[in-house]
Amino acid sequence: MIQRQLRNAGVNLTPQPIIRTSPRDIRNFRKRLGVTQEVFAQMLHVNIRTVIRWENDTAKLQNTHKEMIRSLKSMKKNELERIILEAKTALYK
């Protein structure tokens, strides 16, 4: 009964996949994308120093950035390529 009320209120009860955010996981994901720290920072709308801190374990990701990474991981290859191209274009124009 409570679950039905929550669903009717628009609460998502589907378990969300765990997004691994250890420094190694972040670095490995960035490298799988084939992008530099600078491009990855642009994709997530953060400063490059933030990405460096994440990868060096001197800062933790905020929930918004975890959600952004979750979205990136769920995208199809052509969508990811478009986002990477947009980030590179914004950096190098």
Q: How far apart are CA 49 and CA 75, in angstroms?
A: 25
Q: Per-residue pLDDT tens for 53-89?
A: 999 999 999 989 998 998 898 889 999 999 999 999 9
- Is residue 43 within a helix (H) or strand (E), and if so which, with residue range? helix 37-44
**Tens digit of each residue's pLDDT (9 = 90 or more) over 64-74:** 999 899 889 88
Q: What domains can be seen in the chain, in order of their start residue?
A: 18-92 (1.10.260)
How far, rounded to the nearest angstrom, does the alpha carbon of residue 11 sit from its chain's CA centroid? 22
Q: What confidence score (pLDDT) does residue 21 get?
A: 81
What is this structure's pTM? 0.78
Choose between 49 and 91: higher pLDDT: 49
Contact yes or no for 36/67 (Cβ under 8 A) = no
Position 84 scores a pLDDT of: 94
CA 83 vs. chain centroid, Å, equals: 12
Q: Could you report the per-residue pLDDT of 3-32, keeping only the tens digit for each?
A: 666 566 665 656 556 667 889 999 999 999
Q: Residue 82 has what pLDDT?
A: 94
State the amino acid at position 30 in one-letter form: R
